[in-house]
Structure 1
Amino acid sequence: MRNAGLSRGAIRHRVEAGRVLRLSRGVYGGPDDWEMRLQALFRRLPSSAVVGFHTGAQLHGFGAAASADLHVIVPAGTVVPHIRGVVAHEAVLPVPVSVEIAGVPCAPAARCAVDLARVLRRMDGLPLLDLCLRSGACDPDELRTEVRRHAGLRGVCQARQLIGLADPRSECRQESQLRLLLVDGGLPAPEPQLWVPDSYGVPLYRLDLGYRKPKIGLEYDGLSHLDRDRLRHDRSRMNWLAANGWRMRHFTDTDLYRRPRHILSTVAALLHT
């Protein structure tokens, strides 16, 4: 704007009138959307910086780990100016090839997923990997190849374990966490989104999680199950499953986050009966 002939007073007037927005220190632009702010912040970063971690996952479409900050990866030893809202991760493992998304360089989806799987809590890491696969951002082979590149880095053992459990069939965060709770508790991994057929072999009902052979079904009941029409459908469904030998157990957020031992003992008792 200065090069276009506007004085500092003219720029200030446009900012005060809302016609021009201050996107970052020394950077001004049009309507303040997320992509515009991202591009504005990148103007203040070293040329070697690429988007990664939480922000990279968001750009690739599997942003299960929310963060209001812009997360970037820079080579180890890079001097990064202190910018409010920017988190710089110094990495000894380079990003060989970046991809351009929203006008900025971004680490590949597999790199973002593995980086997060190394540093997040296990209960947050598996939902993110499940969503990564379900969104089609990358496939299991890409995750396995990428995690091998991280050998020796902090958290790589956890990332490798979680990648082995990741399943694109999981449809929500709580289903992934419930599955991980059972596995970490020493129980067999249940099958996500298990279809139950009728007497003709036609898929009739789908369970959140289940064990096919012993006919055990596990459901996570969120707020959607409080809907009156949903409740009627659930009752009809539960009656049919019970009449056809399925033993169902329902869990809520209280069970998952406050009474995990109750879930483990309940499912263990069913499996051992």
Structure 2
Amino acid sequence: MAEPLYRYSELLAAGLSREQVRRSAELSRLHRMSRGVYAPSADQAGRLPALFRRLPASAVVGFHTGAQLHGFGDAQSPDVHVIVPAGENVPRIRGVVIHEAVLPVRDPVLLAGVPCAPAVRCAVDLARSLSRMETMPLLDLCLRVGACQPEELRVEVARHDRLRGVCQARDLVPRADPRAECRQESQLRLVLMDGGLPPPEPQMWVVDSYGIPLYRLDLGYRRQRVGVEYDGSSHLDRARLRHDRSRTNWLAANGWQMRHFTDRDLYRRPGYILQAVLPLLHP
């Protein structure tokens, strides 16, 4: 059962004096969940509903916070992001980011005790406002966890027509792929596509001569027998290193050409990635 929340004015109207409210807070009989909002316990789950006691009835959670509640919050933000209709009078609250929207939020859902924009709305709002490198992992993860379906994303993007950033969202939504398994893999795929290369296949299985799946590549071009991999810190483990060496030798012996990249390549010299892969696809 949800913890009851009380506005300061409600406590006074119920007969408590200002001194009694202050004293109850000092003795932990009441806990200040947000400015002017109290609860009988300090349960952290009540903090989001407490914030909403201070917001207009039209407010809904969205953007980064909405994505986190829907399970694809790859875009981290310490603030609570809230959507309100354009022109709504909203109090300033520390740690709350207000997004005024001309596009109404359809069919909000109740999550964590507060109204939240549907997952598809959160995904497209973020796809319009984040950088390309931040957006691609978020859209991939949204599909991977099942928060949205591809067709839902396409329909929602059409609703945002002519809004700021919609061109980026319209470009990236069709490129989203639920097979991607990590943030850097999604970003590496985007670098290749933005460089004019064909979309690589995420998590591609390589089979042996009997058709048995043997090794799985982060990204691959099956026809050209080219593999592209992101090597993070996990690849420094000794057991992982032994496995990688064995796999690399088998792939090379069976006609596969592999290219491995690190965070330095991905974030500081994406052109190097394209220069390394392009000749393998177009010798």
1:21 deviates by 3.0
Tell me, in whole angstroms, the C-alpha distance in 2 between the residues paired with 1:224 and 1:2: 57
Q: What residue number does 2:93 align with? A: 83
Which deviations, in whole Å up to 9, do the C-alpha atoms of 1:183-236 show, x marking residues without a partner?
A: 111111111101101111111110000100110001101111111111111111
Tell me, in whole angstroms, the C-alpha distance in 2 between the residues paired with 1:74 and 1:81: 12
Tell me, in whole angstroms, the C-alpha distance in 1 between the residues paired with 2:209 and 2:28: 66
Amino acid at match of 1:31: A
**Which of the numbers 8, 22, 30 marks the counterpart of 1:12?**
22
Residue correspondences, number: 272
- Pair 1:19–1:210, CA change in 2 (3 A): farther
Q: Are 1:261 and 2:271 an aligned pair? A: yes
**Which of the numbers 161, 169, 192 marks the counterpart of 1:159?**
169
Q: What residue number does 1:63 align with? A: 73
Which deviations, in whole Å up to 9, do the C-alpha atoms of 1:48-67 show, x marking residues without a partner?
A: 01111111101000001111
**Which of the numbers 194, 210, 220 marks the counterpart of 2:220?**
210
Q: What residue number does 1:50 align with? A: 60
Tell me, in whole angstroms, the C-alpha distance in 2 between the residues paired with 1:220 and 1:130: 16
Tell me, in whole angstroms, the C-alpha distance in 1 between the residues paired with 2:274 and 2:26: 59
Within-5 A mapping of 1:159-198: 159-198=169-208
Q: What residue number does 1:222 align with? A: 232
Instruction: Mark the runs of 5 or more structure 2 residues left unpaired by the alignment.
Output: 1-10
**Which of the numbers 51, 67, 70 marks the counterpart of 1:41?**
51
SS at match of 1:194: strand
Instruction: Mark the runs of 5 or more structure 1 residues left unpaired by the alignment.
Output: none
8 Å Cα contact 1:54/1:63 also seen in 2: yes
Instruction: Say which is worse superposed, 205-214 or 263-272, in terms of deviation.
Output: 263-272
1:258 deviates by 0.9
Tell me, in whole angstroms, the C-alpha distance in 2 between the residues paired with 1:43 and 1:25: 10
Q: What residue number does 2:8 align with? A: none
**Which of the numbers 110, 114, 121 marks the counterpart of 1:100?**
110
1:263 deviates by 0.6
SS at match of 1:199: coil
Tell me, in whole angstroms, the C-alpha distance in 1 between the residues paired with 2:243 and 2:27: 54
Q: Are 1:252 and 2:235 an aligned pair? A: no
SS at match of 1:81: coil
Tell me, in whole angstroms, the C-alpha distance in 1 between the residues paired with 2:102 and 2:34: 28
Amino acid at match of 2:82: V
Tell me, in whole angstroms, the C-alpha distance in 2 between the residues paired with 1:71 and 1:131: 20
8 Å Cα contact 2:61/2:82 also seen in 1: yes
SS at match of 1:225: helix
Which deviations, in whole Å up to 9, do the C-alpha atoms of 1:233-273 show, x marking residues without a partner?
A: 11111111111111111100011011111111001121122
TM-score by length of 1: 0.95
Tell me, in whole angstroms, the C-alpha distance in 2 between the residues paired with 1:223 and 1:11: 52
1:18 deviates by 4.8
1:19 deviates by 5.3
Tell me, in whole angstroms, the C-alpha distance in 2 between the residues paired with 1:50 and 1:43: 12
Tell me, in whole angstroms, the C-alpha distance in 2 between the residues paired with 1:125 and 1:18: 43
Q: What residue number does 1:73 align with? A: 83
Give % identity: 72
1:137 deviates by 0.3
1:10 deviates by 4.0
Amino acid at match of 1:224: S
1:9 deviates by 3.4
8 Å Cα contact 2:33/2:42 also seen in 1: no
TM-score by length of 2: 0.92
Which deviations, in whole Å up to 9, do the C-alpha atoms of 1:118-176 show, x marking residues without a partner?
A: 01000001110000000100110110111111111111111011101100000111001
1:17 deviates by 4.6
